[in-house]
Each structure stands twice: as C-alpha cells, then as structure tokens.
Amino acid sequence: PEGRRATLASALELEGTVLREGRLTQFVANNLERRIRLSGAPRGEPAAAGAAGGSSIPAIDPGALQDVVALAGQVAAQVDELLRNVHCGLQALTALSVGCIQTYRDGVESLGEAADLSIRAMYALVARCEELDRAMQPVPALAKRIRDMKGTLERLEGLCK
C-alpha cells in the first residue's frame, strides 16, 4: 500500500499541489476552474480544447460513486435520527419549562393570597387590640379604688383591735 500511495502522490504532484498532514493528504489541482468547466461540457465539443490545454480529467469510478451515494444515504439517515432526537429533547425541555412556569405562577398566586390573608388578619388583630385597650381603660381607676378600699379596711381593722 505504501508504494502505491507514493506512486499516486507523485502522479498527483504533476497535476497540482499535494499537502500531507499526518495521515491526511490534501490535493489542489492546477487550473481547477478550467477543469470544472471542461467536466461539465458535452463530450464532443471541447475535446480539442481539452487536448490543447493539457491532460483531461480521468473518468470517475462508478463503484466509488455508489460508495459515495451509500455513505450519503447513511449520513442522511443519521442526520434524520439526530434531528428526531433533538426534536424530542426540545419537546421534553419545553414541557418541563411550561411545568416550571405554571408551578411558579401557582406559587406566586398562592403567595399573594397568603399575604393578603395575613394582612387582613393583622388588621383584625390590631382592631381587637384597640378594642381591648378601650375596654381596659377603667382598670387603673378600679385598681386605685380597690387600693383605697383595702387601705380603708386595714384602718378599720386596726381600729377594731
């Protein structure tokens, strides 16, 4: 295989530039545009132009084309499968996002309701405390009267002894 590869590389060097990077070999043909134009033209017309301009492009191997078609079909199937997987993944993420947003919305609504109920309960407590404060206003006067009565009882008791 190495001898065949070396022969192929030296033949390619006559037709263009060969670059080697590790196991990768790149080839850039001389007069690439002219070669592309010649390959697309009908067979009868530019034969003289092809012969005058240099070597013509060699014939394409049908087996290689079939291999390329088969590989392209495999790649297309793999891309379809990848797109299906991405689609399913995006649907799952979307459903999860919708669920999270709905949960967040429900939490915010219940928090608002709880805060509203707490505020109402606090106002009711403040109102009850004010009522209790008003109801307790006579207590200091009663306490003073009870102290006075106790003092009077102690004096009477002291007189009775």
Average pLDDT value for residue range 112-118: 95
Residue 137 lies in a domain: yes
**Three-state helix/strand/coil letters over 103-157:** HHHHHHHHHHHHHHHHHHHHHHHHHHHHHHHHHHCHHHHHHHHHHHHHHHHHHHH
Comparing C-alpha atoms, which of 62, 40, 60 is closest to residue 50? 40
Residue 125 lies in a domain: yes
Number of folded domains that form the chain: 1
Q: Across the chain, how many H-helices and E-strands are there?
A: 5, 2
Residue 75 lies in a domain: yes
Residue 76 lies in a domain: yes
Residue 67 vs residues 24, 25, 63, 74: alpha-carbon distances, Å: 20, 20, 6, 10
pTM of the full predicted structure?
0.41
61 SS3 class? coil
Tokens for 107, please give them: 């939490």
Residue 21 lies in a domain: no
Residue 85 lies in a domain: yes
Question: Mind listing the pLDDT tens digit for each residue in 40-73?
Answer: 666 555 444 444 455 566 777 788 888 888 999 9
Can you tell me the distance from the alpha carbon of 110 to that of 49, in angstroms, rounded to the nearest whole number?
Answer: 84
Rounded to the nearest angstrom, the gap between the alpha carbon of residue 32 and the centroid of all alpha carbons in its chain is 44
Q: Which domain holds residue 125?
A: 67-154
User: What is the per-residue pLDDT for 108?
Assistant: 94
Residue 131 lies in a domain: yes
Residue 44 lies in a domain: no
